[in-house]
Chain A
Amino acid sequence: MTRLFVDEYPGQARLVRAAFLNSFVALAIGATFGLIQAFHRTDIYRFLPSPDYYTVLTGHGVFLVISFVIFFLVGLFHWAITDSLGQRPSRAWLSWGWYGLMSLGTLIIAASILGGFMEEPPEVLGAPLSADVLFTFYAPLQANPLFYLGLIVFFAGTWLAGADWFRTWLTWKGEHPGKRIPLPAFMVLTTMIMWYLGSIGVIVSLVAFLVPWSFEVIPGVNPLLTRTLFWFFGHMVVYFWVLPAYLLWYNVLPTLSGGRLFSDPLARVVFILFVLLSTPVGIHHQYMDPGIAEGFKFVAMTNTMFLLLPSLLTAFTVVASMEHGARQRGGAGTFGWIRALPWKDPAFTGMALAGAVFAFGGFTGIVNAGMNINYLVHNTLWIPGHIHTQVGTATALSLMAGSYWLVPQLTGNRLVGRRIALFQVVTWFLGIVFMTNAMYRSGLFGVPRRTAEPQYSFEYDVGIGSMGELNAQIALGGTLLFVATVLFLGVMLLTVLNRDSEPLVDGTIPPALSGPEDSPRILDNLKLWAAIAIVLLVLAYALPLASVIQGGGLHGQDIRPYPVVLVDAVQHAGTILGVPIH
């Protein structure tokens, strides 16, 4: 007998569907931009002037990692908290309120970015409507104030979403005294604690510095301070992107494999480790920054290495759960059980391939974290290679695979095109292998990231292969990823329209082999873990931030804004600096 989320919680299913809709629209735009970049960078086909590349790049980053991933995340979390607690949110207006704020924020941000494509962007709030500042918006590059305001509205929405889920949990807790928090809800709540703590950095940067600065209320900013505050948030956020995939791997993947989760206690430990360690590591993005002492960088490095632990534990638990499932399905032998897994199920295959890519990408992350090795790869194409294996596949492919399992339960419609879906996840996998392989290799001999034209007057020392071959791989990979995106969105659209059907999936998640009763209750003490996380944060960041403020001042020293408007931008830069631009 099938149990469908949409039948039990039709109101909540509607909200989750709305969040997924936003997510998928953002995916469509972001993926199109990605295709343009793959061809522009490699100089295979350029139809935009190169300055516009940076508008595309800003959109690609923001629409995918902010809009696509986080809208999917809030949808997935809303499903997980409602489904696992069996508890509706107490106030419908609160739920639709955060959805509305996040949507409004996204629209404001999108307008500010897309304005950059116009020949002459209109003046809005005293500045041209343009925000070619990339996803990291490092000051003194300056966007239209709307960009920063949109981000604040979006963040407010996510904070409210967390509050909604904590309220639901507290209501549930009152009605179920002494019960352990169900694992999916535990994951949602711990992830949101992590989000609250980590996003403080970027919110302070926006509210206290960037917004007043963009309205000329304060004279300037300290670029190292806003950059450090961004990275206070910036590494936590990558885990925020990956944890929805973890939620699927821990809860859905074992079921899809035909078995049960291997260990519930270890899953809880993993999420607690993320709460504790994912934020006091941000300085590892600033290994190459002047003005931050080597000692602080060393502390960030050791913390980062320990952050490997939850991922290594996840690798064990997830693979063990899959093996358990395969053996339940009749698999045998040391490795022979792998053949018994349900490889024809796109939801399973997508998540399994995403996990495999994540494991590989994790090791490239160790290279990034390895402080002195970072000299070799910092800001080279190696870094986007890493990002695309992690958030671009571990997360994106898991979310797509998860949609094949979840969307039928949210709509009550049967998944259309199961075989196309299977083809889609494999195409994504192949695309990412080609593209990131070339990115990693290019990065090793110094090809920079974030540039419209990585072609200079010198020749790169390619070693094995050639630039032509690497560029071809990037373009081919990018094309496959785009095709996979179109297929995914097509399957989703057809599924939503497929009304006269019954889903084949069953949303029941069986209990873990080793359940929560095998772990101490202290694991569920969220206040305790939040308190320890705050202590670690203070230890890791108080001194570096104090030193950055002492060194460069709260508002910087005579550092002028550099509004990034691409119209007549060259002349503009010339007047600011009083020097000719070559």
Chain B
Amino acid sequence: MRIHTYEKLWLAGSFVLIVGFIVTVTYGSVGLGIDMIGEEADGVSPDEISSDERFSEPRVEQVGENEYEVYVVAMTFIFQPDPIEVPANSEVTFYVTSRDVIHGFEVPGTNINSMAIPGQVAELTVEFDEPGTYGVICNEYCGPQHHTMEGSLVVTPEWEFSQTELEVDAPESVAQGDEIDLTATVSNGLLETHESTVNVTIGSQTTEQSITVDGESSENVSVTVDSDELGPGEHDWTVSVDDQEESGTITVGNETDTTESVPASVGTETVSVTMNPADPTRASRGVGYP
């Protein structure tokens, strides 16, 4: 076959270019470790999502030091969980599936990008170096309200990141003169020990208590108040720890004949706080820690 000399040179140059491109992509895979979404994760059919241990409760879960897994379910026209909260300086593996049609899972401004295909589970691992707030969008047409399908991804500073759950056990009403026992159960979903402060307000009385909760366990904080100090009527209470807050109302019965009323004194000394050992059976609201 007759080929012009210049064309032979062009052909040779083209080959070099093509091989060069393949080398750069290969370097990206092998050298930089940019893996492609593959078939590593087992699939899950949409009907099994509710009973699947990975996806029945879409969540963020710590699996190692600075290592997290996020189980995401996409469906018309939302993402779960929303927002997705992870700490900075962490390695996060996303597992993404769909409950209905084909969706996309994209975090604009990053290279997090995957298809969410019903029946399949996409697995992709990313590193978050800096704190920041991102949008999460569906980038594959999924139906008439596709453009509203949006979530958010919050990368918090490491020291602010917690996975604290709070449950409060408080009576709804007590007789005048009885003691009010309020118990806050603080669960720590992280693997590491977590230190925090529990703030309790009952009526006009406030107290705070430092606690240390071991990884994947819970601690109780009990607060005892003499109802006489609050007086008869309804009293609001609030318990907060980290980003969690619980509140309610206690009614103190108006039984004046039981005891003499004592003027309410102000000050923490009238509020007794006791620390109880952890009672795992009470961590009923801790979600799905294995």
Contact = CB atoms under 8 A, between A and B. Distances in A.
Interface of A: 50-51, 54, 57, 132, 134, 138, 140-141, 222-224, 227, 262-263, 265-266, 286-294, 297-298, 301-302, 305-306, 308-309, 312-313, 316-317, 320, 366, 369-373, 375-376, 378-380, 445-454, 456-458, 460-461, 514, 518-520, 547, 551-552, 556-560, 562, 564, 566, 569-570, 573, 576-577, 579, 581-582
Given A265-B2, A446-B107, A573-B76, 15 more contacts: A223-B102, A227-B102, A265-B1, A290-B96, A312-B17, A313-B7, A316-B6, A375-B34, A378-B113, A446-B106, A446-B109, A448-B138, A552-B43, A569-B144, A569-B145
Interface of B: 1-4, 6-7, 10-11, 14-15, 17-18, 21-22, 24-25, 28-29, 32, 34-39, 41, 43, 45-48, 75-78, 96, 99-102, 104, 106-115, 117-123, 133-135, 137-148, 150, 152
A263 B35 CA distance: 42
Contacts of A297: 36, 38
B14 A293 contact: no
Nearest to B111: A375
Contact of A562 (B11, B100, B145): B100
A262 B147 contact: no
Contact of B145 (A289, A293, A551, A570): A570
Contacts of A263: 3-4, 7
Contacts of B39: 290-293, 547, 551
A581 B145 contact: yes
B104 to A, nearest CB: 5
Contacts of A518: 1-2
24 contacts: A54-B141, A54-B144, A223-B101, A265-B3, A266-B7, A288-B37, A290-B37, A290-B39, A290-B123, A294-B38, A308-B14, A316-B7, A371-B25, A371-B28, A373-B28, A375-B113, A378-B113, A379-B139, A452-B146, A452-B147, A454-B147, A557-B45, A562-B101, A570-B145
Contacts of B32: 372
A379 to B, nearest CB: 4
Contacts of B148: 453, 582
A242 B112 CA distance: 32
A442 B150 CA distance: 18
A560 to B, nearest CB: 7
A457 B14 CA distance: 45
B120 A290 contact: yes
Contacts of B25: 301, 305, 370-373
Contacts of B113: 288, 375-376, 378-379
B28 A451 contact: no
A249 B141 CA distance: 36
Contacts, number: 254
A513 to B, nearest CB: 9
Contacts of A449: 139
Contact of A447 (B15, B108, B150): B108
Nearest to A316: B10
A579 B73 CA distance: 13
Contact of B117 (A224, A287, A582): A224
A376 B111 contact: yes
B146 A290 contact: no
Contacts of B133: 458
B3 A266 contact: yes
Nearest to B77: A581
A55 to B, nearest CB: 10
Nearest to B97: A290
Nearest to B95: A290
A51 B10 CA distance: 50
Given A379-B139, A456-B137, A461-B109, A309 B18 contact: yes
The 10 lowest CB-CB distance pairs between A and B, nearest first, are: A446-B108, A458-B135, A51-B144, A290-B122, A557-B45, A518-B2, A448-B139, A379-B139, A372-B34, A453-B147
B78 A582 contact: yes
A306 B43 contact: no
B135 to A, nearest CB: 4
A380 B121 CA distance: 21
Given A316-B10, A370-B25, A564-B144, A293 B38 contact: yes
B52 to A, nearest CB: 13
Given A312-B10, A449-B139, A305 B22 contact: yes
A560 B76 CA distance: 13
